[in-house]
Structures are given as structure tokens and as C-alpha cells.
Structure 1
Amino acid sequence: MAERRRVGALGRAAPQSTTARIQAFIDRHLVSSPARFAIVIFTALILIFTSLLALPISSASGEPTPIADALFTAVSAICVTGLVTLDMSTHWSAFGHGVVLLAFQVGGVGVLTLASVMGLIVSRRLGLRAKLMAVNDASQSRVTSGAGNDSQAIRIGEIGGLLGTVALSTLVIELALFASIFPRLLTAGFSLWDSVWQGFYLAASAFTNTGFVPLTDGMEQFVSDPWMLLTIAVGVFLGSVGFPVIFALFRLARFRARLGVHAKLTLFTTLVLIVLGTLLILALEWNNGSTIGGQATVDRPLNAFFLSVMTRSGGFSPIDVGAMNGSTLLGMDMLMFVGGGSASTAGGIKVTTLAVLFLAAFAEARGVKDMEAFDRRIPVDVLRVSVSIVLWGATIVATSSIIVLHITKAPLDYVLFDVISAFATCGLSTGLTSNELPDAAKYTLAATMWAGRVGTVTLAAALAASQRRQLFRRAEERPIVG
């Protein structure tokens, strides 16, 4: 009887239930292309949040938000960028603020990890393909056999722990940041309710590296407040180093486990870039009365440090970035392009990518065949992925800059800064992004944010899954380079 229920009169299988068909669809797409599946989910979320933000209930005025601005805000939130074309403190209603908050909380999880979780929910299991997808998000390096596997920041067997760490660390860190911000808002004169929801909003925005500020006066009111600035900076730093590093630090603290090369490279390179950025901003803006030069001497190092941390992908700014010198903007362009750590809420090409390129250059200068860091050898295929990511990022930035320059006729240093900020999902702006920005430029920058958040990660994931055996090698011939 059971066999008859499963097989029809003509020997064909009985129709599957809706749940079974959905599960089969998810499994089929996970097997064929995890990266493509993640992009579909990511893009679908953008469309959903765009629709919600365009509703009259989302705006404080009760009027529908123009599609260009709703889309731009949705992409900026999902991609945890922080660029805005509308006044975040006055345009959105309570419902609209809730939608934005939910969007950048979801976006902060990460595109491929998000797809893994969605697949887990539907399929009710975390299979090998889903684990590989999460590995690709956690470690942007090619999956190889043999010794190459040691370069993975998170091994397949640890993915369940990583996903748990993502959820737990997000909750704990944001609550800790809220506990630090909430009393400061109260003492600054905010009401109890405003201190609660704006405190949690700022905490979540800091850890996810989004940079949205719901305060009417923005961060300018805290320009001389070490408590608030350092709290926000700590939140941005923790979000930018990446969940694999947080996972590694957790294992170090609890089990005395050794920090891997990925965690060491991420922490070392991030700290070096923060110090260099602080010195750069101090040196170039010390006498600029429109920025830190107009502040008290004791406040200048604090704000320079804060802005340097924000170039990891934070997006908060207590000063007018558009008033900075062109030399400073160019230096911050470089820092934003690098961004934060892999599998983090930060954007950019990632600090480990930069570190691998420098290690390769040092090895070549010394005439050494292998790249080495912290007494470990780094496989050559990691360098190939790093070069691909940098070229992909540079192509996105160049293309978008040309288009926005042509549309707006704005100064090159302003356009380049905001385009890199969009690509690196940073959120710092010279003021180019505003409601007066032509819709064509808004769509271009929205596409840049999407490509910056999805593009490099997906490229790394695609390269990680593209390894194939080739049974022959062609004759070698060396071209002239340099």
C-alpha cells in the first residue's frame, strides 16, 4: 500500500508536497551555484525592503518615498554602507526606522552566510554544500587539497560553531554597546524612550559598520565626547575584524587555542592601518580650521583616530568630510578601498588581501619563492584570488566614477571619495549624495554598493569552487613585466 501511494498507476512518482518542492529547489541551487543562490536572496531582500520603504507609512510625512531614494536607502542598509540621499532623522517614521534597522541587521550577517541560514531554515539541515558556502564567506581563499587546507580560517566541521558565534556575538556586542551609549544619551538630555531606541540603533549601526545616525544633529554634537566616540569606534572595530577573528579570539580565551594566520594578519594589518590613518589625518588636517584644526588641541588626536577607524567601513563622522583637504580625501580613499576583515560587516577588498599582496612583494624582493607570515607558508593560489579581487574592485570604482562624473559634473576628488565609499560600504561622504543628486547617479551608486558588497565575496567564492583538474600543462614562456 505504501508503494502504491508513492507511485502512480503509470509508474510515475506521486506529486511532491509544496515543502518538498521548495526543499528540492533549494538543494538543487545549492549544488549548482551557492554564490548565485546567495545573490538571488540578497537581491530579493533589497527589493522587499525597497517596497517597504516606498510605502507612505514609512515616511514621517505620510507621503510615498520616491523609488530612487527608497532603493538607494534599501541598498545602503542591506549592504551596510550608510550613504543616504535623505535626512535619516526627519524623513522616516517610526515604522521606516524599524525597516532600516532590520535591513542593516540582516545585511550585517553577510550575503553568503545569510544564504546558508536561509537554506538551513528551508531544508532543516546544514549540509556539505551549505557548509562550503559558509566557509567561502568565512574565508576568501581557494579550497585546495593537502596543505592548502590549513589556510582556511574556519574549517568545515566548525561552521556550526561559526554560525552560532555570529548570532551570539552580534547580540552580546550590540547589547554591550547599547549599555555604554544609553546612559550617555540620557545625560545629554534625551528622553528615556529616545535614549533606548536611538541607543540601540547606534549600537547596531556601529557593530554592523553601517553608519546610519538617527540623531537630528548627527555625530557633530559628540565631537568632544571621548566616551561616545570611543564606544562607537570599538563597535566599528569589532564589526570590521570579522566573525572568524571573533571566533578565533573566543577559542583563544576559552581553550587557549592558537591564533591562525588569518586572525593574526587581520588584527596586525588593521591596527597598522588605523595608526597610519590617524597620523595621516592629523598631519594633513592639523591646520584646517574647517575640520579638526578648529578644535581644541586635546580633541584633535581623538577625532583623527575616530575618523581613521571609520575608514574600516564605519561611516560615522563628527566633522564635515567635504571640508577636508584633497590630500586627506585621497589618503582616506586608499584606506576605505582596503576596508576591514574578511567575513565581517566591513567592505572593501579586505585587509588580508592587502597583506597577501605585500607579502608577495616582499618575497619577490628577497628572491624567496614562498610567501610566509607568522612562521607559516601561504599558498600561491591565495595570491591569485587577492589579485583578482583587487582588479575587480578597481574596475568597479573606475567605471562608477566615470559614470557619476559624467552625470553630476562634480569635482573628481568628491566623486572618487563617494564612489569608493559606496564600493567599500563605508558611508563617509563629502556631501555628494543628497536629495539633489540626479536619479541616474543614485542608481549608479546603488549598483556600486551592491557590487562592492556582493561582488568581491562572490568572486572569491566562485574562484574557491572553480578548481578543476587539468591533465596537461602548456609550454612555459615568460613575458616581460614592469
Structure 2
Amino acid sequence: MTATLSPLLQPLRRLRRGRAATRRRAHPSRALFVGFALAIALGATLLMLPIATESGVSTPFTVALFTATSAVCVTGLIVVDTPEHWSTFGEIVILVLFQVGGLGIMTAASVLGLLVSRRFGLRLQLTAHAERRTLGIADLKRILINVVKISLLIEAILTVVLTARLALGHGAPFGEALYTGLFHAVSAFNHAGFSLYSDSLTRFVSDPWITVPIMTAVILGGLGFPVLFELARNARNPRQWSLHSKITVLTTVALLVVGFGAILAVEWSNPDTMGPLGVGGKLLAGLFASVTSRSAGFNTVDTAAMEPATLMVLDVLMFIGGGSGGTAGGIKVTTFALLAFVILAEVRGEPSVHVMGRRLPAEVQRQALTIALLGVGLVMVSTITLLNMTDYDLDRVLFEVISAFATCGLSTGITGDLPPAGTLLLTALMFLGRLGPITAAAALALRDRPRKYELPEDRPIVG
């Protein structure tokens, strides 16, 4: 009987295998990885050209690859001094790379496809959905256009403010002020952390006309586009916000306040950081450090001179990162907040997790736990590996690893002195840190494999 039916079942089996292969090829996670990898490869190729350097000498492959990865993954870690090593052409290449990386490779591709053909395939829709974590696909065209509009609008406003301040307040020629203002505006909103100043923004530590607009752009980019869309519609009525927006805004504010207070408390009298500043300068520097540690990568005081306790505070803030669907990295504030709610419910002995009048599904709790533990595991393995490669202490190595994983860009100054293997490790970590939480969340959300049966329950001892 089996032999008789076998020829009849072969077409069905081939059809199933074809469908399975199509699902594997169409998975948005794979498309995202390929898109970002292609952008990095193209960027590295352009940065290796002699025209991309001030000296006219071709840049080594590892340096070009690291810089391109840092730009596309909007990290900001560097192994060469940006204004000293790269020419104007090289700086523009870096600018384009972190603009593309900030918007998302497939988001930009979706917008381009819309302008050309006015139509989308399911694969493209799901890919853009995974990158930006928007909450619906039906109005994807409008959402993608609004993403670009909001990004360009915020960057344009910040460019005008920075250009005016640099030209009028610091005496820079208008052309130089415009170029510098544009570069830092795009870098700030996209959380890229690249600067045209060798000391980042330390020269502006007490200048609120530079630091406050940059902090504002960093916060807006870190909230995420789904939250920005909702705030634009219902800014005056928080009760109508979605649970996601409420959690993102409240957790972001809480982390900014806690980070601000902790950094001030430790660094207030540090003679190498905030000690020489006045009260106003200290408050501004502390707030800037708290804001930019959420994945922006700029600094107005010397990070390498900070106390070990401050570095640990920054480690935590960097690892958490910003909001889902934004330009920030890390495991995301919603992941952190959801885990906190799960712990609170368990401590209270409640059978389910309730947040702001809503019950959290069990699968969402598992997704948050999975993303957080994967991040911890990746950071731990990378830290141990880098410690074995170098003679640096744990504080500096752990800080560098978390900064790469969370695509933050802050550094204690050891990145440029790492061996080639260490540089490649951080390169891979930036790539995985940028795409890992996004693709893991997309894969977990899209994966639905119900069990056909359940095994008998048993309870191992916990604790």
C-alpha cells in the first residue's frame, strides 16, 4: 500500500519542501542580516580608497571594516581619529552609512520600492516591520514615509540650531559650521556617536546651546518611531497611549533620572571629570552623560577618567539601551521593564503579570527573558575572550564590550590599542548587537509552533 501511494505523495512532499524553503528564504531576519552586511561591505570598500583618507594612503581592511560596521550599526566606536584620518570624502561616506543604518536597510529599501513601484511584497513588508517594530502592516506605506519625514525634520532642525551656534557663538565660518552641524545632527539622532572633533564634545561641556539640542535629538531617536507616532497623535492624552508607549516613556524617564543622580553623586568631585566645573556645568555634564549612555556615544567629559562605580552605572544604562523601533541599541527599555514587572509579580505571589490595566501574555514574558539572557551570555563570552587577548583590567574590557554590544560608542580609550583579533571581535559584536535583539524579537514573535501534546508536570527546586 505504501509503495502504491509513494508516487502519488511525491508531488505533495516536493510542494511542502518548496514551501519550507520559501519560508526560510523569506524570513525577515535573514534579509536584515544580508542588507546590513552588504551596506558594511560597500562602506568598507569605499573607506579603503586612498581618496577617503587625509594622507591619500589606503586604509587597512580591518580598520575600514571596523569603521564601516560601527557606522552602519550606529555605534560610534573608532580605531582611528575621525577628523585626522578621514578626508571629507571619507567623512561623508561615514555620514551616509550611519544615516542608512539608523533608518534601517530594509526600511530605506521599502521606501525606495514604494516610490518606484507603489507596491510591496509580503517579504518586504515583514522585513521593514521587524526592523522598525511598527505595530501594523496594513498602513506600512504611510508609516515608512513618516519615518523618513520625521527623521529628516528632526535632523534639519538640529542642523539649523547647531550651525547657528557654531557660527555665531564659536566663530566658525558658515560653510564649516553647516557641515559640522549637519554631521553631528545626523549622528545624534541616529545614535551614531561619530564626531568631527577629536575630543568628541568635551569642548562644549558647559555650552547648553550645543549639548541640550543634541540630548533632545538623542532622546527622540531613542524613544522609537512607534512611540513618536503615538505621541504626535495623542500627546495631550496619555491615558489613550498604548501599553508599549507608556512603558517606554516612563522607563526612559526613570532611567535618565537614576543615571543622572548616580553619575553626579560619584563624579561631582572627580578632578579629572566634573570637579573643575561650576554647579551648572556639573549638572549639564551629568545629564548629558546619562542621556548619551543610552546608546548615543558622545561624551563631554573624559570617560576614561571616570570612577569605576560610574563605569558600572554606564554599563547598566548602555546594556538596557533605548526604545524598540528607534535608533538606540541594547536589549531595549521595554525588555528591561517587562522583566521588572515579572519579578514584581513573582515576589507578590501573583499567578499572572498585570501592567497598567493589562495582562502580559506568557509568550511576551518568555521573549523578554530570552533576549535579556542572550545579551548577557554574549557580553560574558566576549568579555572573557577579550580579557584573554589583552592585559587590560575587567572594568575597561567590560565597558568596551557592552558599548559594542549595545551599539553605544562610549570608550575608555582602549579600542584603538586592541590587537587585530580584538578589533574583529568588537566588529562582530557591534553587528550582532545591532541586529541580534531585533531579529531575535522578530523570530520569536513570528514563530508559532504549538505542541501536539504536553508532558507530565514536575517542579525542580529553585534557589
TM over 0.5, shorter chain: yes
Shift of 1:469: 2.7
The residue that corresponds to 2:436 in the other structure is 455
Aligned length: 442
The residue that corresponds to 1:23 in the other structure is none
CA contact (8 A) 2:405 2:432 kept: yes
The residue that corresponds to 2:33 in the other structure is 39
CA contact (8 A) 1:116 1:134 kept: yes
Q: C-alpha separation between the residues in 1 aligned to 2:401 and 2:392?
A: 12
The residue that corresponds to 2:319 in the other structure is 337
TM-score normalised according to structure 2 size: 0.91
**Which of 179, 182, 189 pairs up with 1:197?**
179
Q: C-alpha separation between the residues in 2 aligned to 1:438 and 1:476?
A: 51
CA contact (8 A) 1:339 1:346 kept: yes
CA contact (8 A) 1:396 1:451 kept: no
CA contact (8 A) 2:187 2:193 kept: yes
The residue that corresponds to 1:49 in the other structure is 43
Letter in 1 for 2:150: S
The residue that corresponds to 2:71 in the other structure is 77
Shift of 1:250: 1.9
Structure 1 residues 39-68: Cα deviation after superposition (integer angstroms, max 9, x where no partner): 111111111100100110100110001111
**Which of 288, 297, 300 pairs up with 2:270?**
288
**Which of 50, 59, 64 pairs up with 1:65?**
59
Counterparts of 1:94-105 in structure 2, within 5 Å, are 94-105=88-99
The residue that corresponds to 1:479 in the other structure is 460
Query: Quick one: structure 1 residues 138 and 41, their matched pair in 2 at CA, closer, same or farther if it must change by over 3 Å?
Result: closer
Q: C-alpha separation between the residues in 2 aligned to 1:382 and 1:189?
A: 53
**Which of 223, 232, 243 pairs up with 2:205?**
223
Query: Which moves more between the two structures, 369-378 or 394-403?
Result: 369-378
Aligned partner of residue 443 in structure 1, secondary structure: helix
CA contact (8 A) 2:46 2:52 kept: yes
Counterparts of 1:215-294 in structure 2, within 5 Å, are 215-253=197-235, 258-294=240-276
Q: C-alpha separation between the residues in 2 aligned to 1:125 and 1:30?
A: 23
Structure 1 residues 243-270: Cα deviation after superposition (integer angstroms, max 9, x where no partner): 1111111222599992111111101000
CA contact (8 A) 2:188 2:217 kept: yes
Q: C-alpha separation between the residues in 2 aligned to 1:380 and 1:313?
A: 29
Shift of 1:420: 0.2
Counterparts of 1:308-387 in structure 2, within 5 Å, are 308-387=290-369
Q: C-alpha separation between the residues in 2 aligned to 1:300 and 1:214?
A: 24
Letter in 2 for 1:40: V
Query: Quick one: structure 1 residues 256 and 430, their matched pair in 2 at CA, closer, same or farther if it must change by over 3 Å?
Result: closer
Q: Does the alignment pair 1:164 with 2:145?
A: yes
**Which of 394, 401, 404 pairs up with 1:422?**
404
Q: C-alpha separation between the residues in 1 aligned to 2:120 and 2:54?
A: 42
Q: C-alpha separation between the residues in 1 aligned to 2:198 and 2:268?
A: 28
The residue that corresponds to 1:185 in the other structure is 166
CA contact (8 A) 1:38 1:114 kept: no
Structure 1 residues 338-368: Cα deviation after superposition (integer angstroms, max 9, x where no partner): 0000111000000000000011111112222
Q: C-alpha separation between the residues in 1 aligned to 2:367 and 2:91?
A: 38
Query: Which moves more between the two structures, 279-288 or 250-259?
Result: 250-259
Letter in 1 for 2:294: R
Letter in 2 for 1:266: T
Shift of 1:128: 3.3
Aligned partner of residue 218 in structure 1, secondary structure: coil
Letter in 2 for 1:87: D
The residue that corresponds to 1:14 in the other structure is none
Shift of 1:474: 1.7
Q: C-alpha separation between the residues in 2 aligned to 1:94 and 1:408?
A: 34
**Which of 95, 98, 104 pairs up with 1:110?**
104
CA contact (8 A) 1:270 1:351 kept: yes
Shift of 1:442: 0.8
CA contact (8 A) 1:162 1:243 kept: no
Q: C-alpha separation between the residues in 1 aligned to 2:269 and 2:393?
A: 23
CA contact (8 A) 2:104 2:132 kept: no
CA contact (8 A) 2:221 2:328 kept: yes
Runs of 5+ unmatched residues, structure 2: 1-20
Q: Does the alignment pair 1:175 with 2:156?
A: yes
Shift of 1:130: 2.9
CA contact (8 A) 1:423 1:451 kept: yes
Q: C-alpha separation between the residues in 2 aligned to 1:164 and 1:316?
A: 29
Structure 1 residues 153-179: Cα deviation after superposition (integer angstroms, max 9, x where no partner): 612223223212210110100001111
Shift of 1:468: 1.9
Structure 1 residues 177-210: Cα deviation after superposition (integer angstroms, max 9, x where no partner): 1111111110202111110111000000000001
The residue that corresponds to 2:17 in the other structure is none
Aligned partner of residue 75 in structure 2, secondary structure: coil
Letter in 1 for 2:449: R
Shift of 1:298: 2.1
Q: C-alpha separation between the residues in 2 aligned to 1:128 and 1:382?
A: 24
Aligned partner of residue 138 in structure 2, secondary structure: helix
Letter in 1 for 2:243: V
Letter in 1 for 2:313: G
CA contact (8 A) 1:54 1:70 kept: yes
CA contact (8 A) 2:27 2:123 kept: no
CA contact (8 A) 2:110 2:144 kept: no
CA contact (8 A) 1:266 1:351 kept: yes
CA contact (8 A) 1:56 1:63 kept: yes
CA contact (8 A) 1:55 1:64 kept: yes
Letter in 1 for 2:71: A
Letter in 1 for 2:456: A
Letter in 1 for 2:57: E
The residue that corresponds to 1:125 in the other structure is 119
Aligned partner of residue 89 in structure 1, secondary structure: helix
Question: What is the percentage of aligned positions where both structures have the same residue?
Answer: 45
